[in-house]
Structure 1
Amino acid sequence: MGLKEENEDKFGKVAVLYGGYSSERDISLITGKAVHEALLNCTVDSHLIDTRGGFIDQLVQEDFKSAWIALHGSDGEDGKIQSILNLLGIKYTGANTLSCSMTMNKLFSKNILISNGFQTPDFVLIDDEKDYEFIEHRLKIPFVIKPCSQGSSIGVFIIKEKKDYKEKLKTLLQFNDWIIAEKYYKGSEYTAGLLNGEVLPLVKINASNEEFYNYEAKYLSEDTTYICPSQLAESIESKVKETCSDVFNLFNINSWGRLDFFINDDNQPVFLELNTVPGMTSHSLVPMAAKEIGINFDNLCLEILRTSIN
């Protein structure tokens, strides 16, 4: 049996689900195309399907057996697409419905982290603009406001005065039901990728011209620098990776994913968020970490498919 036939036997016809309706559509289009090309290079019977159309009928009528989820944000990381694929009997990459629904909502995930002894920036659930004085007293200036269920740092604002707060909160409430205010951390951010149950080498992120690692810094800026290996002392990196592994296990994420965090003065990770469908673009961090241990992009995409489907 040749490699192509072997992959067809393992995975069947594979749908790379991408695009969709979320605010992260543009990034999903890039991720999906990159993954599709990688799978083709690995002789997988891969097909791009934009979920903005009538994709459910297409999945059924064309007899797809597996799906590589390349949908970011609410389209791919809140559990809905996973539920649909479960009903259709189609195997898929990444975390299951429950894990996605818990991690997509920052309020839920932060409370779960805290109740299990992990650190995350102090935060407040915002009701209206009258909360400003309470937030200022608790979190100090500046602080961050963000939607509970967005990714790619979309809708994240640093608040330095009350005028900023009123304006940005009004903007966020037009498109989001739940908003949180969070303590602002300035400094290098770190990320830990996961592949097949193993935490990859940590990546240090320096968003040179930005106050934090925002959408511009993640996907557009050429000034953002990435350091992998992270330059942390080996003993510190080892302990941080162990803690990250515990967090992935807590949320039952074991095939692939990503954790974003700061490291405090005690060399402990302070977790920002979990990503169940990390980006796979030229700026993306999981491919960078995988490359550090000798896994190229094509083989990474194939391994994510293999470890998820199995």
Structure 2
Amino acid sequence: MSAPLRHEIAGAAEFGRVALLLGGDSAEREISILTGEAVLGALRARGVDAEPVDASGAALVAALQGGGYDRVFNALHGPGGEDGVVAGLLELLGLPYTGSGQSALAVSMDKHVSKRVFAHAGLPTPDWRMVRDLPDAERSANELGYPVGFKPNNQGSSFGVSRVDEASGVAAAFAGAARYGEDVMVEAWIEGAEYTASMLQGEMLPVIRIVPPDERFYDFHTKYESEETRYVCPSGLDRKQEVEVNRMAELAIRELNVSGWARVDLMRDRSQAFSVLEVNTVPGMTSHSLVPMAAAQADISFDELCWRILETSFERGGPAGGH
């Protein structure tokens, strides 16, 4: 991305009344609430008229129609909020919202489809198979070679993700991933270092290296519960490597038509080659979250970060006032 794509807002009144969508009905509900509460405090600290709206259940439409809202900050994680479903509703209601549009959200949330897009664009991504039953899971794991990762196809926050080192672990891993949907991804496991590159309004933020404790992988516990996971920023990569990570992240973002803000997760294998894992279109904004860390390294405070994400709601039009 050659230049920042910022629609700069000078005063809080220009945003109008903001519905901050949080919670929802997915497995990531509690993470979304943490994200939403943090963002709500930041926006209110800057004078934004923002109100939390729990996107759980059928009352959401009435809440949005009856709240006098001018735009929406989407803080929903997982199916329903991060896959384009709520975005479609917001477009029908004529409410501008933060981040990517409906189609980009849907494609990015579908790990299988997004990896096909990466492969078509020439972006390295770990080999994978899609399975729906245990025999296929066992066959796919054997074809890919151990270790392999199991993950739900349409889920975030590492829910249902596990590493399998031998055939005896396949059944439990498959069952754990299948709890979150019938489509399960079996993915070749990359031994190496994990990195993440964040984008804000077309500008790449400093890359972060993630170092989980005790040789664990970056699972739910190490993401949200452990105080031992280390986040290294600056990442320790040399300039050439950091440029390459950002080039790959930008290409992944562009190919998925993602806009506004995002986070791209990558691995570097033992030969020092990078691979793209996935693009997160509504990254977490909790105390353990990566985008705020990257922003801080770029001298962007948390309050300013939330303000700038809210600015992305203007990319789809909709002046303040009138709903």
Pick the TM interval, shorter chain: over 0.9
Distance in 2 (alpha carbons) for counterparts of 1:111 and 1:31: 30
8 Å CA contact 2:194, 2:210 repeated in 1: yes
2:49 — aligned with what? 45
2:307 — aligned with what? 302
Tell me which amino acid in the other structure corresponds to 2:118: L
1:109 shift after superposition: 0.5
Show the 5 A alignment for 1:286-301: 286-301=291-306
8 Å CA contact 1:195, 1:304 repeated in 2: yes
Q: 2:35 aligns with which of 15, 26, 31?
A: 31
Q: 1:59 aligns with which of 52, 56, 64?
A: 64
Q: Report the secondary structure of 1:259's partner residue.
A: strand
Distance in 1 (alpha carbons) for counterparts of 2:78 and 2:142: 32
Show the 5 A alignment for 1:247-286: 247-265=252-270, 267-286=272-291
8 Å CA contact 2:252, 2:279 repeated in 1: no
Q: Within the alignment, does 1:170 sit opposite 2:179 as a pair?
A: no
Change (3 A) 1:275 1:59: same
Q: Residue by residue, what CA displacement relative to the aligned partner does 1:78-127 show, whole Å, maximum 9, x if unpaired?
A: 00010010000001001100001001010100111101100111111113
1:173 shift after superposition: 2.8
Query: Greater relative contact order (Cα 8 A, min sep 6): structure 1 or 2?
Result: 2
1:229 — aligned with what? 234
Change (3 A) 1:118 1:161: same
1:72 — aligned with what? 77
Mean Cα deviation higher: 237-246 or 218-227:
237-246
8 Å CA contact 1:72, 1:277 repeated in 2: yes
8 Å CA contact 1:143, 1:160 repeated in 2: yes
1:6 — aligned with what? 11
Mean Cα deviation higher: 119-128 or 200-209:
119-128
1:132 shift after superposition: 4.9
Distance in 2 (alpha carbons) for counterparts of 1:38 and 1:162: 48
Distance in 2 (alpha carbons) for counterparts of 1:263 and 1:168: 24
Tell me which amino acid in the other structure corresponds to 2:15: F
Q: Report the secondary structure of 1:164's partner residue.
A: helix
2:201 — aligned with what? 196
Superposition RMSD in Å: 1.7
Q: Report the secondary structure of 1:277's partner residue.
A: coil
Q: Report the secondary structure of 2:192's partner residue.
A: coil
1:58 shift after superposition: 1.5
Q: Report the secondary structure of 1:91's partner residue.
A: coil
8 Å CA contact 1:146, 1:179 repeated in 2: yes
8 Å CA contact 2:197, 2:245 repeated in 1: no
Q: How many residues align?
A: 306
